């Protein structure tokens, strides 16, 4: 998963919506608006950091797999290589990231940083990751500590011989690989490692085991109604709504950000259908939103990465940035009471 937007990509991809039922409109489900969580891999991890920090009044936790600190590309020299940890002995500047977040907070461009003191953060860096190096991810931990997140609220996993990938118990590549679909299976302490379960359990506490049989199907929805100009996002997104969450029970919302070369345009349903997000969601009254970035809409973003470098807006990390607005509007839709007709 190359984070550099100008990298070459294959032109032989077959466009598919494999594994998802059609649903044109994202529903209003009356979900809880106060305990939202996010996670992501790679560019999706950078986006998860941005969203957690910008909307910290409502986002209670984040899972960050191979991602750097807040506003990284803007506050560091030689921005992209630095933020990916490529420059030896020159990691991203966590203090500069904190200073940027504090400035935005003081200007009311993001929620108050004090909210982060109650956040729960999971951070992961595989020892075999050849795309986002460990020193970049270490700076993410330092950023959250500088921002007031207690050490006890941070789970930092950096001793697993994994490549650049989201880890599942069974599906995907062998653990050490750095290859599409950027989903791998690893063994930790003689057990198959379920990274989604580790993330959600760290954020929410004790959970029921993942469902063996799902009560619903992933739904495809039209993202276009949520998109301000220049988002670079795709026409469609996906959402998993457990049956109970469609029947009047107020559920929680988790936003799962895919990485570069990991949207449905690259890997079909591998990310939204073959990881364990939906199984954990089904057992624990959790709606999972899978927003999608378009590989074709931005010539500078052929890998379909989330914007952590400024291709959609110079201020990509604040609430009013195009992609941040779009995802927030989707979350707001899910939290609106069932049957309401107010816009977004």
Strand partners, 237: 221
Regarding pTM above 0.95, the answer is: no
Beginning with the edge strand found earlier in the chain, give each strand of the sheet holding 183-185 in spatial order: 166-168, 183-185, 173-174
> Whole-angstrom Cα distance, residue 5 to residue 183?
20
Catalytic residue list:
42, 129, 164
Residue 341 lies in a domain: no
Q: What is the pLDDT of residue 319?
A: 98
Asked whether residue 10 is assigned to any structural domain, the reply reads no
Q: Is residue 2 part of a domain?
A: no
Q: What is the pLDDT of residue 301?
A: 92
Residue 344 lies in a domain: no
Mean pLDDT by 10 residues, the chain (344 residues): 35 38 86 96 98 98 98 96 96 98 98 98 98 98 98 98 97 98 95 97 98 97 94 96 93 98 97 98 98 88 96 96 98 89 48
* Residue 220, CA distances (Å) to 21, 51, 112 in order: 6, 22, 34
Q: How far apart are CA 59 and CA 299, in angstroms?
A: 32
Q: What is the pLDDT of residue 175?
A: 98
Nearest to 31 by CA among 326, 226, 287: 287
* 53 within a domain of the structure (yes/no): yes
Alpha-carbon distances, residue 117 vs 48, 127, 199, 269 (angstroms): 17, 28, 18, 35
pLDDT attached to residue 7: 31
* Residue 8, in any domain of the structure: no
Q: Per residue in 27-41, is it b (16+ CB within 10 Å) or e — as a string?
A: bbbbbebeebbbbbb
Distances (CA, A) of 47 to 54, 89, 163: 10, 25, 20
Q: Is the dihedral angle over the CA atoms 219, 222, 227, 232 positive or is it negative?
A: positive
Domain count across the chain: 1
Structural domain contains residue 254: yes
> Residue 171: which domain range?
23-335
| Interatomic CA distance for residues 41 and 256, integer angstroms | 9
| 117 assigned to some structural domain | yes
């Amino acid at each position: 998963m190359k984070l550099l937007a100008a990298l070459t990509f294959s032109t032989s991809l077959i466009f598919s919506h494999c594994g998802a039922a059609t649903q044109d409109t994202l529903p209003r489900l009356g979900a809880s608006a106060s305990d939202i969580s996010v996670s992501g891999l790679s560019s999706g991890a950078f986006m998860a950091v941005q969203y957690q920090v910008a909307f910290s009044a409502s986002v209670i936790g984040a899972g960050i797999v191979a991602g750097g600190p807040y506003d990284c590309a803007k506050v560091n020299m030689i921005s992209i290589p630095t933020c990916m940890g490529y420059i030896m002995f020159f990691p991203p500047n966590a203090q500069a990231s904190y200073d940027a977040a504090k400035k935005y907070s003081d200007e009311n461009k993001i929620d108050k940083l004090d909210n982060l003191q109650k956040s729960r953060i999971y951070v992961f860096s595989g020892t075999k990751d050849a795309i986002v190096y460990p020193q970049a991810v270490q700076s993410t931990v330092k950023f959250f500590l500088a921002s007031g997140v207690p050490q006890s609220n941070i789970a930092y996993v950096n001793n697993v011989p994994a490549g650049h990938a989201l880890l599942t118990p069974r599906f995907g590549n062998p653990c050490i690989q750095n290859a599409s679909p950027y989903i791998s299976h690893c063994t930790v302490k003689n057990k198959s490692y379920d990274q989604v379960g580790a993330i959600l359990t760290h954020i929410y506490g004790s959970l029921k085991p993942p469902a063996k049989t799902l009560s619903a199907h992933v739904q495809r929805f039209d993202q276009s109604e949520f998109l301000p100009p220049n988002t670079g996002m795709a026409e469609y997104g996906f959402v998993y709504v457990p049956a109970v969450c469609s029947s009047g029970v107020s559920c929680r919302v988790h936003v799962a950000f895919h990485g570069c070369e990991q949207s449905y345009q690259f890997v079909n349903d591998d990310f939204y259908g073959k990881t364990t997000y939906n199984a954990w969601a089904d057992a624990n009254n959790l709606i999972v939103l899978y927003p999608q970035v378009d590989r074709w809409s931005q010539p500078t973003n052929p890998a379909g990465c989330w914007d952590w470098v400024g291709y959609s807006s110079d201020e990509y990390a604040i609430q009013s940035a195009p992609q941040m607005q779009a995802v927030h509007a989707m979350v707001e839709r899910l939290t609106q009471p069932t049957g309401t007709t107010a816009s977004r």
